[in-house]
């Protein structure tokens, strides 16, 4: 079963607006990552935040992590049409044994209109 749930399932905005996606997970984690997927293609890593971090920035991306609430959010500022994609959070639970096993959420489909 999936570890995370994302909210909203779909988001439609205009270029220039900000997009916020949320992710909730069930168990403790070592880290949480966000990935982007364009139209059924491979996933592209966006950002990784460790369990002892609360906020991280990368360009127009801002990720927050609240381990007490078991939730994370991804903010994309000044969105562009090229940001149209599905966004997934992925967790690395301790029970994975420290091996490269990611548990993905259901994803948020973002549509950015020109």
Partner 1 sequence: KAGVTQTPRYLIKTRGQQVTLSCSPISGHRSVSWYQQTPGQGLQFLFEYFSETQRNKGNFPGRFSGRQFSNSRSEMNVSTLELGDSALYLCASSFRRTSSYEQYFGPGTRLTVT
Q: Which of 41, 54, 80, 113 binds partner 1 (CB under 8 A)?
A: 41
Q: Which among 15-23, 39-47, 58-66, 72-80 is the span making contact with partner 1, rule CB under 8 A? A: 39-47
Site for partner 1 in 48-77 (CB under 8 A): 48, 50
Nearest to 18 by CA among 81, 79, 102: 79
Cα 14 to Cα 8: distance, rounded to the nearest angstrom = 16
Q: Does 102 bind partner 1 (CB under 8 A)?
A: yes
Is 28 one of the binding residues for partner 1 (CB under 8 A)?
Answer: no
What's the CA gap between 70 and 102, in Å, rounded? Answer: 16
Binder to partner 1 among 107, 108, 110, 112 (CB under 8 A)?
Answer: 107
With beta carbons less than 8 A apart as the criterion, state whether 91 and 32 touch. Answer: yes
- Is residue 87 part of the contact set for partner 1 (CB under 8 A)? no
Angstrom CA distances, 11 to 20, 22, 49, stand at 9, 11, 23
Please report, as ranges, the residues that interact with partner 1 according to CB under 8 A.
2, 30-31, 33, 35, 40-45, 48, 50, 88, 90, 92, 96-107
């Amino acid at each position: 079963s999936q570890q995370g749930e994302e909210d909203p399932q779909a988001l439609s905005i205009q270029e220039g607006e900000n997009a916020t996606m949320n992710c909730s997970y069930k168990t403790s984690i070592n880290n949480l990552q966000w990935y982007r997927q364009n139209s059924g293609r491979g996933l592209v890593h966006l950002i990784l935040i460790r369990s002892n971090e609360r906020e991280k920035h990368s360009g127009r991306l801002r990720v927050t992590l609240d381990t007490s609430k078991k939730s994370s959010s991804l903010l994309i500022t000044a969105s562009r049409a090229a940001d149209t994609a599905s966004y997934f959070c992925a967790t690395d639970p301790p029970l994975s044994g420290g091996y490269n096993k990611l548990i993905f959420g259901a994803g948020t489909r973002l549509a950015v209109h020109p």
